[in-house]
Amino acid sequence: MILDFFRLDGRVALVTGAARGLGQAMALGLAEAGADIVGLDRCSSDETGAAVTKLGRRFSQVCCDLRAASVADLNAIVAQSIAEFGRLDILVNNAGIIRRAPALEYSEADWDDVLQINLKTVFFLAQAAGRVMVPQGGGKIINVASMLSFQGGILVPSYTAAKSAVAGITRGLANEWAKHGINVNAIAPGYMATDNTAPIRADAARAETILARIPAGRWGEPADLKGTVVFLASRASDYMHGTIVCVDGGWMAR
């Protein structure tokens, strides 16, 4: 039956930025489909863990500030996940930050922090997971892109650069790893009601302009990503490679 293709029973998923927002929602969606969860965040993921275990799934917490994480640290996180649950089937590269300033005033520190978390850790966590998934015979890697993987945005040059590169890395890794049974795809959320967009939503004039351009007529909620992440993590998406899936209320269609 087709619905069985969406089940994730026996699978283990590592989700970065799992303490709140998009990462928490995606972790819960994967758990609802049957997966055990390793939740990585720089702060406590106790709330996510409690919700996962309430669903009858196992949860392991990894505390790590990705701004300071080395490649060795990222390899160790993957190794820890496997030591905890015996396998790793799904990686969701969700963790991200945004720093806003005019391009003429943008600081090196803000540039480096954003590229470190939004791009460098995405690649090297995928690399670490890929080294496990190739001999394992397959796996699912889901990166979180953005509308700014397609557009330029304003006041966020490092975020735009990183998210554009995430789309490119997704396609590049898909080309190399599809033959190993690894699906590498990305989700590009639209304007979502999260901490990252709080400053924009607090600006009444700008928030109104954005909302007027969203055909769905509302900001996205983290739970809106649950269905897409489960699909991309499941057998139902086995013939999808290098795809950037927009979950944006119709923003890109406008």
Q: What is the rounded distance in angstroms from the CA atom of residue 97 to the CA atom of residue 42? A: 12
Question: Who's near 109: CB < 8 A, 6+ residues apart?
Answer: none
For residue 77, the Cα-to-chain-centroid distance in whole angstroms is: 16
Element spanning 31, H or E: helix 21-32
220: helix, coil or strand?
strand
Residue 129 tokens read as 């997971």
Q: What is the rounded distance in angstroms from the CA atom of residue 14 to the CA atom of residue 161? A: 25
The active-site residue, picked from 106, 159, 191, 239, is 159
CA separation (Å) from 34 to 43, 110, 120, 234?
25, 38, 30, 11
Whether 191 sits among the annotated catalytic residues: the reply is no
**Which among 174, 175, 176, 148 has a CA at the least distance from the CA of 162?**
148
> Residues 146, 163: contact at Cβ < 8 Å?
yes
Question: Who's near 212: CB < 8 A, 6+ residues apart?
Answer: none
Catalytic residues: 159
